[in-house]
């Protein structure tokens, strides 16, 4: 499968923030988010073809019990089910970071970290051809697929938020999913790839979390390492 990078770091987002983890970043994505912070794994997918055995061997060279399958969109990677199964057999805790647009189909997973994309993710026609704009809009929110993930695995729903007006979109999506989602499983994360950008949205997000009972989600890796590869 096409792998963009494998690295050992600490988890910077969500309920496992701070946990040392090996990140396996697959290359390729079925969306084209306007503000994507890993364009080398989505807009211009780069990487090296690796076998499942090679990936597992590299993961096991690090002293971590936690593995994060991320992207790009890991669920579009050929062989992702085999990789997850092999990591499970090796005794790893597996987090899958996905946009939740592709059904899990029984994939081995201990924490589904799902980041549905809100309206402001859609690129405009000046950025990419109209076919991709239409595809992104059609795929980005699929309540039926999200329901499958949420009923099959422990989960966190992570939303990238730039302004308070997006709370209505989140409410509408939760209603469309139709499950009783505990507010503490909904994480709001500031949009931005610099400390300044994150800081500028902090207060607005804290207020939103206090109003709704949602969880504030930091981006610790950006604070620690900046927006750089391999972190
Ligand atoms: S789903 Fe993730 S990897 Fe794909 S374009 Fe959006 S932000 Fe980038």
**pLDDT computed for residue 189 by the predictor:** 92
Task: Quick: pLDDT tens for 69-110.
Answer: 999 999 999 999 999 999 999 999 999 999 999 999 999 999
Q: Is the CB of 187 under 6 A from ligand 1?
A: no
Q: How far is the CA of 72 from the centre of ligand 1 (A)?
A: 6
Q: What share of the chain is helix, strand, coil (3-state, %, to 5)?
A: 40, 20, 40
**pLDDT computed for residue 221 by the predictor:** 82
Q: Is the CB of 71 under 6 A from ligand 1?
A: yes
What pTM did the predictor assign? Answer: 0.94
CA 179 to chain centre: 21
Token match 């950008």: residue?
A: 197
Token match 């690796």: residue?
A: 50
- The answer for 84, left when phi > 0, alpha when psi is -120 to 50, beta otherwise, is alpha
**pLDDT computed for residue 127 by the predictor:** 84
Would you state the structure tokens that stand for residue 16, as one six-digit string?
Answer: 């496992």
Those residues of the chain that have pLDDT short of 50 are none
Cα–Cα distance measured from residue 47 to residue 54, given in angstroms and rounded to the nearest whole number? 14
Concatenating the DSSP letter of every residue in 138-180 gives HHS--HHHHHHHHHHS-EEEEEEESSGGGHHHHHHHHHHHTS-
**pLDDT computed for residue 98 by the predictor:** 98
**pLDDT computed for residue 212 by the predictor:** 93
**pLDDT computed for residue 71 by the predictor:** 96
3-state secondary structure of 221: helix
């Amino acid at each position: 499968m096409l792998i963009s990078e494998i690295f050992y770091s600490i988890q910077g987002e969500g309920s496992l923030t701070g946990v040392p983890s090996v990140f396996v970043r697959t290359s390729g994505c079925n969306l084209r988010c306007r503000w994507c912070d890993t364009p080398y794994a989505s807009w211009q997918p780069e990487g090296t073809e690796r076998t499942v055995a090679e990936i597992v061997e590299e993961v096991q060279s690090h002293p971590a019990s936690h593995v994060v399958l991320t992207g790009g969109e890991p669920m579009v990677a050929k062989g992702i089910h085999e990789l997850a199964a092999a990591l499970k057999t090796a005794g790893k805790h597996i987090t899958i970071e996905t946009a939740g647009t592709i059904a899990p189909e029984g994939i081995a997973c201990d924490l589904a970290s799902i980041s549905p994309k809100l309206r402001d993710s859609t690129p405009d026609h000046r950025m990419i051809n109209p076919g991709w704009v239409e595809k992104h809009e059609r795929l980005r929110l699929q309540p039926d697929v999200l329901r499958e993930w949420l009923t099959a695995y422990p989960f966190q729903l992570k939303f990238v938020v730039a302004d308070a007006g997006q709370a209505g979109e989140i409410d509408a999506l939760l209603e469309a999913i139709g499950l009783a989602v505990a507010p503490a499983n909904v994480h709001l994360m500031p949009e931005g790839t610099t400390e300044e950008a994150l800081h500028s949205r902090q207060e607005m997000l804290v207020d939103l979390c206090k109003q709704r009972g949602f969880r504030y989600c930091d981006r610790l890796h950006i604070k620690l390492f900046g927006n750089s590869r391999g972190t």
